[in-house]
Amino acid sequence: MNNFAVFILTYGRADKVYTYENLRRGGYTGKIYLICSTDDKELNKYKELYQDDVIVFNKEDIKGTFDIGDNFNKDNVVVFARNANFNIAKKLGLDYFLQLDDDYEIFEYKYATKDKLVGRRIYNLDLIFSYFVKFLENTKTTSIAFSCWWRAGYRDWE
- Residue 42 makes CB contacts below 8 A (sequence gap 6+) with 12, 13, 14
Q: What is the dihedral of CA 74, 75, 79, 84, to 10 degrees?
A: 150
pLDDT on residue 148: 57
Rounded to two decimals, the pTM is 0.86
Q: pLDDT for 17-59, tens place per residue?
A: 999 999 999 999 999 999 999 999 999 999 999 999 999 999 8
3-state secondary structure of 48: helix
Quick check: 151 pLDDT over 50? no
Q: How big is the chain, counted in residues?
A: 158
Question: Which percentage of the chain shows pLDDT scores above 70?
Answer: 92
The mean of the pLDDT values for the chain is: 88
Regarding predicted confidence, which is higher, 93 or 66?
93
pLDDT on residue 158: 40
Instruction: Please state whether 99 falls in left (phi above 0), alpha (psi between -120 and 50) or beta.
Output: beta
